[in-house]
């Protein structure tokens, strides 16, 4: 697609014959003259209104020429001439004259960090080892690329099946099929500042072909790919929202620095280590010369640290008696071994003040009685487990708490081996605003901690020890997760249990959860079961094993994953929509080619129907006199994709009424509703 701005720049530069060698622009000479502030060149550029508007800042009726922006455009813009060899060689992204796929020098200021890569993520069945990236785009082209697109094949699913939908409501769950960068910009106006949690599981850039996602980026392209998406996704977060990014050690260090820049170091919360596999066995279990990988990482940032409150308390549960046995086997002391058989008579002692001036009422406990849990079991002729269950609410230990309240209580009471309780209303913490009772025991008035505060009994009478999740998450079951949700994804699938922890930790009922690397739909499935609203975006085609199939199973009462834990029985709904493909369908068609015989038909189809890059003469590139016929199938496919106009992959919403696209009225109604247009 020819752009007005490029035409104007070329028109100005054509008035300087020294910048041209036949039809090829001598970019380095232009750049050198711009850096030397060549007066006549700058004057001609600034005389052009469109160039002046694009590359200057007006301050007090004076114009400041953003010369570096124009130089960057000249350096990175592909000017293709009529030479096929030069054309094919110039496809790609460069930095200082080197193509990014050969560039291994990545620092914080990595190549093309200020660019937009529209490229997708597919690694199709033909086994492509390199993703196709579009060219570096100028501002005008970026605006076209990222403007809202048309949604088609819109459906709503609920317990009664599939339905036509003409309106979109703010409370609807949403699944979008299409390039996630484009889709994010389609969603931005409607959902900016409304999402409480973003979880993504992007390509790890491992250099393998284990996943359908392209996983063979170079550092620079991978970082640019991630930067484009993280920057826009930040705009979706509420002020107290958070993002979790799952990654392994290949790019984790680089990603941390990138996220520090995008979200701000002050908004960094944690790096969580998630144990994913068992330890190496007796033989060592190393991977090549390296140690076996047992963990992945979750990088966690908030939108605004001052607005972020705190994570909800989420606990890891272990069967209590097994936990006690494990402590004994490891030679560790299990401290919850005492029982209050009688809390004694509660007698008012005195009132003191806490640090904020609030009352603390102190009570002395007369004739209280304690006994060890083991002696109770022996005395009552019951098992230790039965004793724990019977006296569950009275089992305790004491600790040498360093709190200011304990200090005040100790100073206000005595040094005798007795028991005091207090009642007060905390001004902060989990019991803020509630009347709270605490016990202090012994000569030093040690704080009493009850087992019931760190353990629970479920509806079946089973006792569990609870530990708050910190930054090491182990005990999550990664076995047999490939069929969770009744859809199969052999590699890369995450356990529903993992997403349950994240979603419960970061959100409350009704909050919006987003995942724009949705895959088989784990995030959406768990959010659905937990009563959260969700937005999912996926580009790849998983056939019958995709997120839509999984969510339909969830609505119909899927019993796998966390269903039994949260008592899931079905219900709810979601809306599904696809981005209207233009050139993107030809990209897929080209990628699926398996033989030379298919090439000619595709070329003719592209010539007749596709939107071609205005700088490329496809006839000259593919005719009998060119070198095209001597290329391999893969090389031909690469070239044909590059011939397509990068900005015409999907249909813009502004073109929805164009008769040539034959968009049904119901689809138009949905799009108007989604974009809040009349």
CATH of the domain at 300: 3.40.50.150
Both 477 and 462 in one domain: the answer is no
Task: For residues 366 and 568, give the distance between their C-alpha atoms in angstroms, rounded to a whole number.
Answer: 49
The total number of structural domains in the chain stands at 3
Contact in structure between 519 and 538 (CB atoms under 8 Å): yes
Query: pLDDT at position 628, please?
Result: 79
Query: Which portions of the chain are predicted below pLDDT 70?
Result: 1-3, 75-141, 207-218, 278-288, 488-492, 541-545, 614-615, 624-626, 678
Q: What is the pLDDT of residues 260-275, one digit of tens each?
A: 999 999 999 999 999 9
Contact in structure between 251 and 204 (CB atoms under 8 Å): yes
Question: Which structure tokens are listed for 2?
Answer: 């020819």
Both 203 and 71 in one domain: the answer is no
Question: Which structure tokens are listed for 60?
Answer: 């007090």
Both 347 and 440 in one domain: the answer is yes
User: What's the Cα-to-Cα distance from 18 to each of 21, 98, 495, rounded to whole Å?
Assistant: 8, 25, 63
Residue from 336, 319, 463, 330 nearest 390 by CA: 463
For residue 191, the surrounding DSSP H or E stretch is helix 180-191
Residue 616 domain-assigned (yes or no): no
Task: For residues 362 and 409, give the distance between their C-alpha atoms in angstroms, rounded to a whole number.
Answer: 8
Query: pLDDT at position 542, please?
Result: 59
Both 280 and 322 in one domain: the answer is no
Both 436 and 321 in one domain: the answer is yes
In a 13 Å sphere around the CA of 667, the CA atoms on its Cβ side amount to 18
Residue 114 domain-assigned (yes or no): no
Query: pLDDT at position 625, please?
Result: 62
Residue 335 domain-assigned (yes or no): yes
Task: For residues 242 and 308, give the distance between their C-alpha atoms in angstroms, rounded to a whole number.
Answer: 8
Both 288 and 322 in one domain: the answer is no
* Residue 181 φ/ψ, nearest 5 degrees: -65, -45
Both 348 and 423 in one domain: the answer is yes
> In which domain, by residue range, is 433 found?
317-468
Task: For residues 65 and 67, give the distance between their C-alpha atoms in angstroms, rounded to a whole number.
Answer: 5
Q: Which residue has the tokens 């009994």?
A: 457
Domain boundary among 552, 572, 592: 572
Neighbours of 533 (CB within 10 A): 22
Domain boundary among 572, 606, 629: 572
Both 426 and 514 in one domain: the answer is no
Residue 638 domain-assigned (yes or no): no
Residue 338 domain-assigned (yes or no): yes
Q: What is the pLDDT of residues 125-180, one digit of tens each?
A: 333 333 333 444 445 667 777 899 999 999 999 999 999 999 999 999 999 999 99
Both 501 and 542 in one domain: the answer is yes
Which residues, 6+ apart, have CB-to-CB distance to 445 below 8 Å? Answer: 406, 409, 410, 413, 420
Query: pLDDT at position 383, please?
Result: 96
Q: What is the pLDDT of residues 482-511, one digit of tens each?
A: 778 777 665 668 999 999 999 999 999 999
Residue 218 domain-assigned (yes or no): yes
Question: Which structure tokens are listed for 394?
Answer: 């009275």
Both 453 and 325 in one domain: the answer is yes
For residue 241, the surrounding DSSP H or E stretch is strand 237-247
Both 294 and 387 in one domain: the answer is no
Domain boundary among 441, 468, 495: 468
């Amino acid at each position: 697609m020819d752009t007005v701005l490029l035409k104007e720049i070329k028109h100005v530069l054509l008035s300087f014959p020294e910048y041209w060698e036949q039809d090829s622009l001598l970019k380095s000479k232009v750049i050198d003259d711009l850096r030397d502030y060549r007066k006549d060149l700058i004057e001609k550029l600034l005389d052009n209104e469109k160039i002046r508007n694009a590359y200057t800042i007006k301050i007090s009726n004076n114009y400041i020429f953003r010369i570096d922006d124009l130089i960057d455009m000249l350096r990175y813009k592909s000017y293709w001439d009529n030479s096929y060899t030069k054309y094919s060689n110039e496809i790609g992204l460069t930095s200082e004259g080197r193509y990014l796929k050969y560039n291994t020098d990545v620092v914080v200021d990595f190549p093309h960090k200020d660019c937009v890569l529209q490229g997708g993520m597919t690694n199709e069945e033909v086994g492509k080892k390199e993703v196709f990236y579009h060219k570096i785009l100028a501002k005008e082209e970026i605006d076209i690329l990222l403007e809202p697109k048309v949604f088609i094949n819109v459906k709503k699913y609920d317990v009664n099946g599939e339905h036509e939908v003409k309106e979109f409501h703010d409370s609807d769950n949403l699944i979008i099929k299409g390039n996630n960068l484009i889709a994010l910009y389609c969603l931005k106006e409607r959902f900016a500042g409304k999402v409480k949690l973003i979880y993504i599981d992007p390509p790890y850039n491992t250099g393998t072909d284990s996943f359908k996602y392209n996983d063979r980026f170079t550092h620079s392209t991978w970082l640019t790919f991630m930067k484009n998406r993280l920057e826009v996704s930040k705009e979706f977060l509420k002020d107290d929202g958070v993002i979790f990014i799952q990654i392994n050690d290949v790019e984790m260090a680089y990603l941390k620095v990138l996220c520090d820049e995008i979200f701000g170091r002050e908004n960094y919360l944690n790096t969580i280590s998630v144990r994913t596999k068992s330890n190496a066995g007796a033989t060592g279990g190393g991977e090549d010369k390296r140690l076996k990988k047992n963990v992945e990482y979750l990088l966690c940032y908030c939108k605004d640290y001052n607005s972020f409150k705190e994570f909800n308390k989420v606990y890891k549960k272990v069967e209590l008696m097994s936990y006690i046995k494990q402590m004994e086997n490891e030679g560790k002391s299990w401290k919850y071994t005492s029982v209050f058989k009688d809390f004694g008579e509660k007698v008012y002692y005195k009132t003191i003040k806490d640090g904020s001036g609030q009352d603390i009422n102190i009570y002395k406990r007369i004739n209280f009685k304690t006994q060890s849990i083991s002696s109770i079991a022996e005395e009552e002729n019951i098992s230790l487990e039965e004793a724990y269950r019977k006296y569950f609410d009275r089992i305790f230990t004491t600790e040498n708490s360093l709190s200011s309240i304990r200090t005040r209580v100790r100073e206000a009471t005595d040094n005798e081996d007795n028991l005091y309780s207090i009642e007060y209303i905390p001004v902060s913490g989990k019991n803020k605003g509630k009347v709270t009772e605490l016990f202090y025991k012994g000569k030093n008035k040690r704080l009493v901690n009850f087992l019931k505060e760190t353990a629970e009994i479920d509806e079946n009478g089973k006792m569990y020890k609870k530990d708050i999740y910190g930054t090491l998450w182990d005990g999550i079951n990664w076995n047999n997760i490939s069929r969770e949700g009744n859809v199969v994804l052999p590699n890369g699938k995450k356990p529903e249990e993992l997403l349950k922890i994240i979603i419960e930790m970061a959100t409350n009922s009704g909050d919006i959860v987003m995942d724009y690397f949705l895959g088989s739909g784990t995030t959406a499935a768990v959010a659905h079961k937990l009563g959260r609203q969700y937005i999912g975006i996926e580009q790849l085609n998983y056939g019958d094993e995709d997120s839509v199939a999984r969510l339909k199973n969830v609505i119909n009462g899927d019993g796998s994953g966390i269903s039994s834990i949260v008592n899931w029985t079905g219900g709810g709904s979601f809306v599904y929509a696809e981005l209207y493909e233009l050139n993107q369908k030809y990209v897929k068609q080209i990628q699926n080619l398996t033989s030379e015989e298919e090439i000619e038909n595709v070329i003719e189809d592209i010539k007749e129907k596709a939107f071609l890059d205005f700088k490329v003469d496809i006839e000259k590139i593919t005719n009998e006199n060119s070198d095209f016929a001597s290329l391999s199938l893969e090389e031909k496919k690469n070239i044909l994709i590059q011939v397509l106009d990068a900005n015409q992959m999907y249909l813009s919403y502004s073109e929805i009424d164009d008769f040539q696209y034959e968009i049904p009225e119901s689809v138009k109604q949905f799009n108007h509703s989604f974009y809040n247009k009349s």
